[in-house]
Amino acid sequence: TEEPCTGGVWCRLCTALSSASPPEMLRGKRVIVTGASSGIGEQMAYHLARMGAHVLLTARTEAKLQKVVDKCLDLGAASARYVSGSMESTAFAEEVVKEAENTWGGLDMLILNHIGHSFFDFFNGDVDHVRKLMETNFLSYVAMTVSALPMLKESEGSIVVVSSVSGKVASPFTAPYSATKFALEGFFSSLRHELIIENVNVSVTLCILGYINTESAVRAVSHVIKEAPAPKEECALEIIRSGALRQRELHYPASTVTPILLLRDFAPEFLDGLIRSNMRVENIKRA
Ligand code: NDP
């Protein structure tokens, strides 16, 4: 309510809730963000900086990462640094985690967010592209998790995996991308079980995102997708919040993602028809 709190049990509850709010929970925490040179990853870096976290950012483009690091320091990050390289190589994925170990001696949160370039088009039969995308969008997530787990066990930390509605329900024109996101769901949901069975207090949060207004997404799909995209700044904050609160799954924006997931189980063919009818398929020019 708008009423100020007047004390009693509710006051104690308010205090408990506000002291557990993500901004405070992340002060001084050590966080890796991948794909942090643009889009949602860049916005997550800025939120974490405002919260006073230590951030280690990674992507391929050094010049962009340097700018994001500078802005993070201006915004109040406890510390900010970057490592540049391509997640096509699992060796690089492991190197990023090693950098966190050498710099901080530990890690509290691993945010896996990067994606390699793919096509929004009919699948053209390019098997090598599927393999390469699997390496970038999936295998590097696994490699970073394996390398980071000893530190995350020690800190009772969190793994945050940025996925998509396309990792739960397939749409046309995204076959390789969708395959990589479905793989994330399978791997990390199984891993979550095993961590619980072994009483390991490391949380796994899967972020199921709808259409977000990042430059690359708008450029790739705005001529086909009819719906308006949700804001990347709010999306980034919701991802951090869900990780800090150790939620199992985030649906963002919930107004579109949650109904889609309900329809998937109760009326899958109706949902498939709805997905196709919400696209301007005529704007896809077949190669
Ligand atoms: P962007 O394209 O804006 O950012 C992708 C990031 O990944 C960039 O920092 C890019 O930097 C980096 N990257 C690209 N290729 C590589 C590579 N080979 N190795 C290492 N890093 C690489 O993506 P979004 O912000 O839109 O998406 C972020 C996440 O959100 C993704 O996991 C995506 O699947 C998910 N998502 C996004 C949606 C949207 O509508 N935007 C919808 C659903 C899910 P650089 O080029 O410098 O390497």
Smallest CA separation from ligand 1 atom 39, residue: 212
Written as one string, the DSSP assignment of 77-96 is -SEEEEEE--TTSHHHHHHH
CB 167 within 8 A of CB 207: no
| Confidence check: pLDDT of 171 > 50 | yes
Cβ atoms of 222 and 263 closer than 8 Å = no
Q: Output the CA 39–ligand 1 centroid distance in Å.
A: 7
Distance from C-alpha of 77 to C-alpha of 103, rounded to nearest angstrom: 15
Q: What does the pLDDT average to over 74-80?
A: 98
Give the DSSP letter of residue 201: -
Taking the chain, what is the end-to-end CA distance rounded to the nearest angstrom?
56
Predicted confidence at residue 17, as pLDDT, reads 41
Tally of CA atoms within 13 A in the half-sphere of 221 that contains its CB? 21
| Bond into 253 cis (ω within 30) | yes
Mutate to test the pocket of ligand 1, among 32, 33, 34, 38 (most ligand atoms within 8 A of CB): 38
pLDDT tens digit sequence for 41-67? 999 999 999 999 999 999 999 999 999
**Is residue 173 a contact partner of residue 220, using CB atoms and an 8 Å limit?**
no
pLDDT tens digits for 244-269? 999 999 999 999 999 999 999 999 99
Which atom, in ligand 1's list, is nearest to the CA of 216?
2
Global ipTM: 0.99
- The set of catalytic residues is 177
Tell how far the Cα of 35 is from the centroid of ligand 1, in angstroms.
Answer: 5
Q: Is the pTM of this model over 0.80?
A: yes
Query: Ligand 1 pocket: which residues have CB below 6 Å?
Result: 35-41, 59-61, 64, 86-88, 113-116, 136, 162, 164, 209, 211-212, 214, 216-217
Taking alpha carbons only, the member of 106, 275, 248, 104 closest to residue 189 is 248
Considering all CA atoms of the chain, what is the largest pairwise distance in Å, rounded to the nearest integer? 67
- Asked if 90 and 139 count as a contact pair (C-beta separation under 8 A), the reply is yes
